[in-house]
A = this chain, B = another copy of it.
Amino acid sequence: MEGKAKTGISPTRVEDFPQWFQTVVRDAEVAELDHVRGAMVIRPWGYGIWELMQDALDDGIKETGAVNAYFPLFIPLSYFEEEAKHVEGFAMEMAVVTHHRLEQGSDGKLHPAAELPEPLIVRPTSETIIGRSFAKWINSYRDLPLMINQWCNIVRWELRPRVLLRTTEFLWQEGHTAHATDEEALEETRRMLGVYREFVESQLAIPVIAGEKPEYERFPGAEITLSIEAMMQDGKALQCGTSHYLGQNFARAMDMEFTDEDGERKLCHTTSWGMTTRMIGAVVMSHGDDNGLRVPPRIAPRQAWIVPITRDDPTAVLQAADELRDEIAGQSWDGKPVRVQVDTRERKPADKRWEWIRKGVPVVIELGERDLEGGVVTMTRRDDPGLSRDAIPREGAGEAVVGVLGDIQMGYYQEASERLRDRTRDDITTLEEFREFFAREETDSGGFVRAPWSEEPGTIETMGELGVSVRVIPFDEQLPADARCVITGGPARVMATFAKAY
């Protein structure tokens, strides 16, 4: 118990959720802001989670027929000038390369030299550059659909940086596709939202609301933006992936034409869609508790961690630990060998135990001489709020671990689903109730409100004052015939999900 008090996260979630988040991210060695304002180092534990996320999502993307490629980091400034809304949306946060050499000045210091003929933008998104390649590659309807995905880094200058959530540089994948018809492009837009939904729910154990963004929250240059939104433990929404139907806006700006079966030259219809390292933050805020991170087993770089507790002669215990590791690694879960490691570092066993609890390893197994004698091992499940040490028979411990992994993956999803259900209000009908619901402390932002909305521009201002936005117009949502807008009280046009958001 002493250990627990010592190693829990301070402040707790209830005390100060934003500070709790930052502390977990730091203490679990997930990531840190460092070196350059707003820039982030993703540490091995956080990057290991990202690698597993990439593997799973990459499979999902490739199953749709898209292939990976790589396009330049630097985009000529002139490329942005042809899609007015697009550049308007990104101009405020573009990092600009102006020189390509350093030279020693008369002060003995290095200074930028060799100015570029045209400034280069460090990509904030790649529609303008990938679209120009597409325009060259596409000649006929036989070249369509063209479906390409890129894993890369992105730079958007952030004035108020926040680790994992809002950083000047982040990693993502961006898919870009071109189609012969609007129907096909719309189908692709929806298909990819489905891929994201499946990925976030099944891998990250985070349930989401899927729908369309209102016009004022669309991607700059898009005709339609679809999004999946998750609820964090403080009731705020976090956008977990977006898929955009770009119509012919970008195709027109870039002359992305093809000769159709009827011999006519036509403009393509395009889409783009992306998911970022922000999702590591979503995992922390969805599943973390007051002892640290809790990683869903499917994306845990280590699913089981063995801590040998050795005294005078460590030989027998270390050998037993290796045997247990081999047995667990020989088990298959979710179609892959279980990821397990023995921690032989020169550190106190209690420190090791707490390190792996803080990092959110699903199962921690301690193994000492007394366990050996008793024919047991001591297991701690990360999903047990009391983190109790349970002696389980050594015989069959491998199968036991596999069973626990499945339980934990499902349990995290269920917990998050209950939160989403319990904290989504659909009984708020007036602006007064709406105001009251969202007028909360920073540490608890209420939750989601599902209510009829008029889509009137004036409502955006009212929401803005409360720090609230329409997250999505959820799919398959019926609007009652005489529905009244929760904000204006006038006629409503759609059902909307309102929330404060990251």
Contact = CB atoms under 8 A, between A and B. Distances in A.
Given A81-B110, A120-B36, A155-B73, A68 B97 contact: no
A90 to B, nearest CB: 8
Nearest to A31: B70
A69 interface: yes
Interface string A104-127: 000001111000000111100000
A202 to B, nearest CB: 23
Contacts of A80: 102, 110
Contacts of A103: 91
B98 A35 contact: no
A252 interface: no
Contacts of A148: 44
B47 A68 contact: yes
Interface in A290-330: none
A48 B67 contact: yes
Contacts of A39: 72-74
A134 to B, nearest CB: 11
A12 B165 CA distance: 53
One complex includes copies of this chain to the number of 2
A152 interface: yes
A92 interface: yes
A35 B132 contact: yes
Contacts of A155: 73-74
Nearest to A346: B142
A397 interface: no
B69 A43 contact: yes
Contacts of A119: 99, 111-112
Contact of A169 (B72, B111, B347): B72
A122 B93 contact: no
A391 interface: no
Contacts of A79: 35
Interface in A4-34: 34
A42 B67 contact: no
Contact of A93 (B100, B110, B120, B121): B100
A41 B42 CA distance: 26
Contacts of A71: 35, 41
Contact of A41 (B102, B133, B168): B133
26 contacts: A34-B72, A34-B133, A35-B79, A36-B74, A36-B120, A41-B72, A44-B69, A47-B67, A48-B68, A50-B70, A73-B122, A73-B155, A74-B155, A77-B102, A80-B110, A87-B102, A93-B100, A93-B101, A94-B102, A96-B97, A96-B98, A96-B101, A97-B97, A98-B112, A112-B119, A152-B153
Interface of A: 34-36, 39-44, 47-48, 50-51, 67-77, 79-81, 87, 91-103, 109-112, 119-122, 129, 132-133, 136, 142, 148, 152-153, 155, 157, 168-169, 171, 345-347
Given A36-B120, A87-B110, A95-B120, 7 more contacts: A34-B133, A35-B71, A39-B74, A41-B69, A41-B133, A87-B102, A91-B110
